[in-house]
Amino acid sequence: MSSTQRHDNQVSNWVHDHTFAEGSHAAERSTRLVMWITAVMMVVEIAAGWWFNSMALLADGWHMSSHTLAIGLSAFAYSAARKYAKDPRFAFGTWKIEILAGYTSAVFLLGIAAVMAISSIERIFAPEPIHYRDAIIIAAIGLVVNIACALILGGAHHHHGEHGHHHGHEHGQHEHGDDDHHGHHDLNLKSAYVHVIADAATSFLAIAALVGGWLYGWNWLDPLMGIVGAVLVAVWAKNLIVDTGKVLVDREMDAPVVAEIREVIEANDNIRHTKLVDLHVWRVGRRFYSCALSVVTEDTCLTASKIRDELSIHEEIVHSTIEIHHQC
């Protein structure tokens, strides 16, 4: 086995061992806890809606059931990523399982927004009686539960950021600035967080609408707030779909690491008379990338190992495939 092959095998094993270990254990525990809390609140709202004959509570309860399913999907993604972290069939680790779950959850969220909007429009033309006092009490409890869940997931997100900060200092990882920092978010955790925030927002709007209807007789306020909530949820879902979609289709050629690779090849005193003619970069973790590149060089002594050694100053590049064409 050549030194290049040994290096690539070592890097591949490193990716498998570390893809899930970047704070994902805390995120999995937090997401699973939030899933169960949301499920309990869902049962309470559906039961209360049936007992008090409140369609508003029933609708919110079934709406929360969809969020329970979506958050459960996020928790399952962490579990699957951990279970298959060392499975050699996943060439670059299992991180994209989490991204796929986040994308699916965002699409689900978009569907929820559409149902909310349609139901709200129907209620404008066909209003139904609402048991305001009972509905306000349950909605307020739901809001408190959602805030608690948001704090739990927010703590897991902070743990992610703290871990990444320590990792960068321990390994001398190159700083990329704010643009790259945004690309390091745990998008699966973000999708669960967006679902919880969407629930909190709809609960807050529901309380405002119910209070207005109870005190002033503004029955139209309830469906209007439903439409506003649907728009907010749709915007959050759209942004999450864009973020996760970029990762799934490997849209990474505008990432800062691409310019760094070009600089190593074409503006490096240790690599002379060499031109980068083809480059492909894709992400295999929140902070890790792989690349495939081709160069044309007049240096007959240039080898893939030498280029790889120069690229090693950027530790976010954990796998590289290098093709060299020597000019005669």
User: In Å, how far are 86, 195, 227 from 73, measured between CA atoms?
Assistant: 21, 12, 26
E strand or H helix at 283: strand 274-283
Side chain identity at residue 69, one-letter code: L
Give the burial class of 219: count Cβ atoms within 10 A of its Cβ; 0-12 exposed, 13-18 middle, 19 or more buried: middle
Q: What is the mean pLDDT of residues 149-170?
A: 57
E strand or H helix at 244: helix 221-248
Count the Cβ atoms, other than its own, within 10 Å of residue 79.
Answer: 14
Most confident of 33-37, 173-177, 225-229: 33-37
Write down all domains in the chain, each with its CATH number in brackets.
3-248 (1.20.1510.10), 256-326 (3.30.70.1350)
pLDDT at residue 92, rounded to an integer: 79
pLDDT in tens, 268-318: 888 888 999 999 999 887 788 999 999 999 988 899 999 999 999 998 898
Average pLDDT, the chain: 77
pLDDT at residue 278, rounded to an integer: 94
Q: pTM score > 0.85 for this model?
A: no
pLDDT in tens, 23-71: 567 777 888 888 888 888 888 877 876 776 665 566 666 667 777 877 8
Higher pLDDT, 141 or 69: 141
Structure tokens at 241: 């779909």
pLDDT bucket at 205, cuts 50 / 70 / 90: confident
Report percent pLDDT > 90 for the chain.
15
User: Using CA atoms, how far apart are residues 54 and 37, in angstroms rounded to an integer?
Assistant: 22
Side chain identity at residue 16, one-letter code: H
Q: What single DSSP character describes residue 311?
A: H
Please list the residues that pair with 322 across neighbouring strands: 293
Helix (H, G, I), strand (E, B) or coil at 297: strand
Higher pLDDT, 182 or 45: 45
pLDDT at residue 272, rounded to an integer: 84
